[in-house]
């Protein structure tokens, strides 16, 4: 078959790109390795910046998010027992974030795609990308034992960190920047009311914790854990006990516990690939970069890449190469700022088993400065709600 754009991956980046292209009359097919249920079963992000909210509106899929999502005007830090609120709204001239699960957003995009009758191949195996250094790229895959080939003008690599697109680029053409952290996040989802109206990021001697939510009746909690630990070692009871230990007495006393609906461990990593364009192949989202979740930036960065990529491709079909030529440079400017913020929040709030005592003290002083200075709080707030687009 022949199509203008072949999108690899039906995560938030691929689905959002497909919807924005469709709205502009550019045709695309999405090829996804997994089933829809598998994609929806991955419990991940919960916090959307205004940029992601605006893009979902532009894609025509924002209605349920506005009805069911929870706008948040601030969040709190609990630092060794002392609570400090970051007034996002007050410090940024009226900005806020939206708490709306990645699962819900993905479901909205999947439904819109299905209702519009747009082509998506789920459970494709042996997906491979070819000839993207020529004017005639191709995508090959197998489905139900039969081999298929797509001829296209462009390939959008939205296939996540372990995808095939970045891995298909010649090693000499790409540079990787990476930092791996010596711990993970153990996440638990439960049908219980959140312990706090707003998100609570916790720095404690026993390690980081986060109290988040999906709705007024569904909570998402995380605990910093060792990479050597497995989910099986964490009964629900052990999880709740450990969380209580990392909270202040008042918050711990009001924590409502219940059975876990989902529990998983995610390793923490910072990663950027440069550049993001290789001839007619473009990388977007987690395929191009990873941030540790501490800054709530991963999904938002994917949305920001897709904003640039959708415009670039739409402009190409309207006669301009400017967008595709500047795609990489434009994205990377924003990516590195989000990488910096996520790295900094991770360093400030986690317990590092091997940090030397001097570095530990310096980080504690930095955090103390940030939360007690209006300038410091503003820096956190501006980055958390999302930095403005410069072009």
> Residue 293 Cβ, how far from ligand RFL at the closest point, in Å?
4
When asked if residue 69 is in the footprint of ligand PHB (CB under 6 A), the reply is no
Helix (H) or strand (E) holding 317: helix 298-317
When asked if residue 95 is in the footprint of ligand PHB (CB under 6 A), the reply is no
Give the binding range for ligand PHB (CB under 6 A) out of 114-122, 137-145, 274-282, 291-299.
Answer: 291-299
Cβ neighbours, 10 Å, residue 63: 11
Q: Which of 338, 254, 256 is nearest to 303 (CA)?
A: 338
Helix axes 357-372, 374-385, angle to 10 degrees: 90
Contact of residue 294 among ligand PHB, ligand RFL, none (CB under 5-8 Å per partner type):
ligand PHB
Cβ neighbours, 10 Å, residue 368: 16
> Residue 233 Cβ, how far from ligand PHB at the closest point, in Å?
21
When asked if residue 212 is in the footprint of ligand PHB (CB under 6 A), the reply is yes
> Residue 23 Cβ, how far from ligand RFL at the closest point, in Å?
18
Residues between 172 and 201 that touch ligand PHB (CB under 6 A): 199
Contact of residue 13 among ligand RFL, ligand PHB, none (CB under 5-8 Å per partner type):
ligand RFL
When asked if residue 46 is in the footprint of ligand PHB (CB under 6 A), the reply is yes
> Residue 341 Cβ, how far from ligand RFL at the closest point, in Å?
12
When asked if residue 77 is in the footprint of ligand RFL (CB under 6 A), the reply is no
Q: Yes or no: say if 114 and 15 are a contact pair by the CB < 8 Å rule.
A: no
Strands (E), 69-167: 70-72, 75-79, 82-86, 97-99, 120-121, 125-130, 138-143, 146-157
The token pair at 117 is: 């009758």
DSSP for 97-112, written as a single string: EEE--HHHHHHHHHHH
Give the binding range for ligand PHB (CB under 6 A) out of 44-52, 115-123, 175-183, 226-234.
Answer: 44-52
When asked if residue 260 is in the footprint of ligand RFL (CB under 6 A), the reply is no
**Which residues belong to the active site?**
72, 201, 293, 297, 384
Helix (H) or strand (E) holding 220: strand 219-225
Of 18, 74, 137, 285, the one binding ligand RFL by CB under 6 A? 285
């Amino acid at each position: 078959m022949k199509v203008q754009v072949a999108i690899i991956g039906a995560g938030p980046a691929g689905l959002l790109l497909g919807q924005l292209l469709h709205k502009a009359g550019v045709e695309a097919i999405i090829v996804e390795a997994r089933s829809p249920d598998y994609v929806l079963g991955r419990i991940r992000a919960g916090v959307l910046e205004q940029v992601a909210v605006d893009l979902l509106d532009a894609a025509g899929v924002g209605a349920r998010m506005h009805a069911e999502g929870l706008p948040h005007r601030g969040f709190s830090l609990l630092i060794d027992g002392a609570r400090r609120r970051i007034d996002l709204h007050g410090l940024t001239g009226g900005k806020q974030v939206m708490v709306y699960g990645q699962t819900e957003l993905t479901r909205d995009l999947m439904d819109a795609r299905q209702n519009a009758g747009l082509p998506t191949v789920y459970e494709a195996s042996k997906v491979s990308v070819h000839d993207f250094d020529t004017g005639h790229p191709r995508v090959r895959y197998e489905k139900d034992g039969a081999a298929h080939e797509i001829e296209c003008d462009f390939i959008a690599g939205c296939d996540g960190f372990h995808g095939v697109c970045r891995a298909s680029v010649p090693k000499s053409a790409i540079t990787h920047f990476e930092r791996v952290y010596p711990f993970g996040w153990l996440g638990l989802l439960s049908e219980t009311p959140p312990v706090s109206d707003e998100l609570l990021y916790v720095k404690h001697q026993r390690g980081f914790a986060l109290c988040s939510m999906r709705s007024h009746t569904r909570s998402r909690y995380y605990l910093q854990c060792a990479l050597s630990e497995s989910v099986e070692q964490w009964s629900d009871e052990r999880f709740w006990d450990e969380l209580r230990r990392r909270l202040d007495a008042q918050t711990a006393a009001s924590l409502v516990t219940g059975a876990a609906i989902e529990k998983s461990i995610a390793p923490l990593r910072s990663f950027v690939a440069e550049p993001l364009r290789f001839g007619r192949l473009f990388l977007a989202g987690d395929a191009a970069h990873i941030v540790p979740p501490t800054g709530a930036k991963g999904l938002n960065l994917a949305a920001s890449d897709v904003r640039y990529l959708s415009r670039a491709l739409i402009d190409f079909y309207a006669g301009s190469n400017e967008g595709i030529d500047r795609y990489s440079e434009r994205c990377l400017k924003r990516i590195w700022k989000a990488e910096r913020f996520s790295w900094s929040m991770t360093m400030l709030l986690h317990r590092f088993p091997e940090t030397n005592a001097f570095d530990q003290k310096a980080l504690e002083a930095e955090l103390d400065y940030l939360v007690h200075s209006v300038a410091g709080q503003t820096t956190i707030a501006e980055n958390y709600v999302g930095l403005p687009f410069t072009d």
